[in-house]
Copies of this chain bind each other. A is one copy, B any other.
Amino acid sequence: MIRDFEVTVLGNTSSIPAHGRNHTSQVIRIGQDLVLLDCGEGTQIQLRRFKVKVSKISHIFISHLHGDHYLGLVGLLSSYNLSRRKSPLFLYGPPGLDDIITTHFRHSHTELSYSLHFTATDPSGMNQLVDHPNFKVFSFPLRHRQPTTGFLIREKQGYRNLIKEKLQKQKLPLEAIHSLRKGVDYVGADGSFYSVREYCYPAPPLRSYAYCSDTIYHPEIIQYFQNVDLLYHESTFVEADSARAAVTFHSTAKQAADIAMQSGAKKLLLGHFSSRYGNLEPLLEEAQSVFPESILSVEGDTYQI
């Protein structure tokens, strides 16, 4: 059984909301877990609109402290409190995010019903933030006007699938089955030996997703996410506005495609579109001219990783 691993886009617009598009946020489903990447204003409304099980979100990652990437966070944390959430929540983001949250809650006299664990990200290098039974999350540096990190989510090996026909022929001890499912060859006390290779189907390849929220075109970042199954890279501007992209430390769609190609990504998801573009097709065309496996992110759409 292959576990779910998919991303739902909640917002795909940059800076000033326009054309009915919302600020950046994405929810990742990996097995039974939900993880949120960035949390622009209105994220809790988008989550409900797209019928995401909000209470299932266990980890939230904030890339940087520009309003369009984090201003929905205090509202979401407050709503968890109003619904008397009990399960802990793990939050990762730039230093200062904790001060912002505690300042809000101090003035609104809010005492949370759940434990909120904050870990500051460090944009000076790549760091492992989470080691969950099913996945790992890393932060890595991006280059923007603010200290900013991207995030890499790597699936971990799940239980192996046993070859039923083999098991029907032979009666394996229960300990052997447990061991094989975990991907470990079994040697019994009696000298019996069962190998994963013989009794299990080949493990499906482990998938990965890289998220590059806001960054100038900066090919050095590709070292952090080689050969991912899906790359999200911001693509704020068309090529004709590349000077504006450089000044604002953003990328063009073509530059995003270039990063996808150089890093060996299988697919590229575009987003963080400037409010100056009502029609997004030119961004897609420019990206596809470099990297054909480029797609535009659409709010509410889910992409398999």
Residues of A within 8 A of B (CB): 15-18, 20, 22, 41-42, 44-45, 48-49, 65-68, 71-72, 74-75, 78-79, 82-83, 94, 96-97, 99-100, 103-104, 106-109, 145-146
Quick one: which of B17, B42, B45, B100 contacts A107, CB cutoff 8 A? B100
The answer to whether B18 touches A48 (Cβ under 8 A) is yes
Bound complex: CA A143 to CA B114 (Å): 28
A116 to chain B, nearest CB (A): 15
Q: Which B residues touch A16, using CB under 8 A?
A: 79, 82-83
Residues of B contacting A74 in the complex (Cβ-Cβ under 8 angstroms): 67, 71
Q: How far is the CA of A214 from the CA of B156 in the complex (A)?
A: 49
Is A44 a contact of B41 with CB atoms below 8 Å? yes
6 A-B contacts (beta carbon < 8 Å): A16-B83, A17-B44, A41-B42, A41-B72, A65-B107, A67-B75
User: Is B65 in contact with A108, judged by CB distance below 8 angstroms?
Assistant: yes
Q: Is there an interface contact between B45 and A17, defined as CB atoms closer than 8 Å?
A: yes
Asked if B71 contacts A67 (CB within 8 A), the reply is: no
Minimum CB–CB distance from A66 to chain B (whole Å) comes to 6
Chain B nearest CB, measured from A285 CB (Å): 27
Whether the pair A108, B18 counts as a contact (CB closer than 8 A) is no
- Chain B residue at smallest Cβ distance from A69: B108
Among the listed B75, B78, B108, B146, which residue makes an inter-chain contact with A109, where contact means beta carbons less than 8 Å apart? Answer: B146
Chain B residues whose C-beta falls within 8 Å of the C-beta of A44 in the assembled complex: 17, 41
With A18-B48, A42-B41 in contact, is A108–B75 under 8 Å at CB? Answer: no
* Chain B proximity of A73: nearest CB distance (Å): 10
Question: Does A99 contact B108, Cβ atoms closer than 8 Å?
Answer: no
